[in-house]
A and B are shown apart, each in its own frame.
Chain A
């Protein structure tokens, strides 16, 4: 069964305390893995797309990596404004229309 699991569900960090969020997946025909940031009352904001194992992408304090079974979103020296829910989604299937979401990790960065 195709599945995407994120952990932890919630994470509280002190400002400057680096950590990683995990997204593990079991899908057939991976076409891409996406990371989004979602603030309360807003739609998901695109962060990264990863297509193949070994790929890495960076944006400011965020770095996303991908293996054949999971992806990590590394947050280096987080700031309070990084507080949000981070969603992982996997695009799969022949047409690429199958989009599986994780349940998200709620990140709180304490000043």
Chain B
């Protein structure tokens, strides 16, 4: 199956700082990248969709100035949580999508803001 990596897998930061999360598709080209957030015991919530080289499209209620998404290449996308606050603590998961039929998710990044 396709390999997707995320880095870091776990990060703790202080309130007010910014955190960057990387998502890489290791064996296929991801023309589209989906970023999700998952709170404990809840399902995945789509935050934004980005196409390579284009600006991301954000779901209703997701602040685009807070969650900066860069999808500069077909194998790498980044999500930057700016001025993080404790309520941003969550599990962030990417899903790169290309021509493959199966849809694979990244292993996730646990963000804790203190």
Interface residues of A, Cβ cutoff 8 Å to B = 32, 34, 36, 41-46, 49, 87, 89, 91, 97, 99, 101-104
Contact between chains at A41 and B110 (CB < 8 Å): yes
Inter-chain CA distance A4–B44, complex, in Å, is 13
Which residues of the other chain, A, contact B42 by a CB distance below 8 angstroms?
103
Interface residues of B, Cβ cutoff 8 Å to A = 1, 4, 6, 32, 34, 42-44, 46, 49, 91, 93, 95, 97, 101-108, 110
Query: Interface majority SS on A: helix, strand, loop or mixed?
Result: strand
Inter-chain CA distance A97–B91, complex, in Å, is 22
Which residues of the other chain, B, contact A102 by a CB distance below 8 angstroms?
43
Least CB distance, A31 to chain B, in whole angstroms = 9
Contact between chains at B44 and A44 (CB < 8 Å): yes
